[in-house]
Amino acid sequence: MHPLRRLDRSVARVESAAAVFVLLAMVLVASAQALFFNIAERDVAWAQSLLDGLSWADTFLQKGTLWLALIGASLATQQDRHIAIDVLPKIAPPRARAVMRFIASLGASVTAFILARVFFQACLIADASVPFEYEVLTAEGPAHVCDVPPAELGATSRPDALCALRAAFGAAGVRVASGGGIAQLIVPLMFSVIGLRLAMRALISGRAALRGGEGPGGEDPDDSAPNDSGDAPHTKDADEAPSTP
C-alpha cells in the first residue's frame, strides 16, 4: 500500500501547488481589474485600454473559483476531512467499523465516478456550439476560427493558445470550443480523483476487515509504519481516533 500512499501524496502536492497558483492569479487579476476600472473612471485613456484588454477577467475569476472549490474538495478527501456521519463507526467494534468504512467508501467512490461521467458529458454538450467571438463565416458556412485555414481568416486573428489546447484535447477525443469549456473540465477530473481516493480507502478498509481490525485512525495496520521517504504516518486527531483497550 505504500506506493499508493506515496502516489496519493504526490498528487496532493500538485493539487496544492495548483490551488496556490490559481488563488494568486485570481488576486492579481481582480486587483488589476479594480485598479484600472477606478483609473478609467477618471477618463484616463490608457487605463480604459488596459481594462478593455481584461474583458476575460470575470470569466477567469468565475472559473478560478470553481477550480479552488473542486481542488479543495479533493484535498479534503485526501486528508479525510470530508463531511461524514460516523456515529455508528465510533461505537462499533473494530471489524464492524472496518466493514462500514469499506461499504461507505465503495459507495461514495462509485457515486463520484458516476458524477464524473455525467459532468464530463454535460461539459461537452455545453461547449458543443461555437462561441460568437470564435466563429468565422466561410464558403462552407460558419466554422471555428481554429478550423479555418490561415488564408481564409483575412483580418481575423487566430487565438494560438486556445487553438493549441483545442488541438491537444481533440487528439484525445475531447471536442471543446472555448477556454471556458476547457476550464469546466476540472469538474469531471476532480470527481475522478476523488473517486480514486475513495476506492483506495475502500481497499484499505476491506483489507483491515479481513484481518479482523483496523490500524490507527481507521487505516490499514500496514499504513501506520513510516514510509520510505521518512514521512510521519497519517493519523486522525486524537479525539477522533478509536480508543484502544
What string of pLDDT tens digits covers the 245 residues of the chain? 557 788 889 999 999 999 999 999 999 999 999 999 999 998 888 989 999 889 889 999 999 999 999 999 999 999 888 777 777 777 777 788 888 888 988 999 999 999 999 999 999 998 888 888 888 887 777 888 888 887 777 777 888 888 899 999 988 889 898 888 999 999 999 999 999 999 998 888 888 888 876 543 445 444 544 444 444 444 444 444 444 44
CA dist list (Å): 77 to 25, 34, 91, 123, 146? 25, 35, 23, 23, 38
Strand, coil or helix: what is 153? coil
Q: What residue spans define the domains of the chain?
A: 2-127+178-224
Strand pairing report for 141-144 and 135-138: antiparallel
- DSSP class of residue 132 equals G
Closest by alpha carbon to 102, among 229, 201, 33? Answer: 201
| Dihedral (Cα; 77, 78, 79, 84), 10-degree rounding | 20
Specify whether the CB–CB gap between 88 and 100 falls below 8 A: yes
User: What ranges in 79-221 are assigned the alpha helix state H?
Assistant: 87-91, 94-126, 160-171, 179-184, 186-210
DSSP SS3 for 141: strand
DSSP of 200-211: HHHHHHHHHHHT
Helix axes 94-126, 186-210, angle to 10 degrees: 160
Residue 236 is predicted with a pLDDT of 44
Judge whether 48 and 41 are in contact, CB under 8 Å. Answer: no
pLDDT at 56: 87
- The x, y and z cell numbers of residue 193, run together, are 480523483
What distances in angstroms separate CA 189 from CA 21, 116, 122, 208, one per listed residue? 18, 7, 13, 29
Grid coordinates standing for 94?
A: 473494530
pLDDT value at residue 239:
44
CB 237 within 8 A of CB 224: no
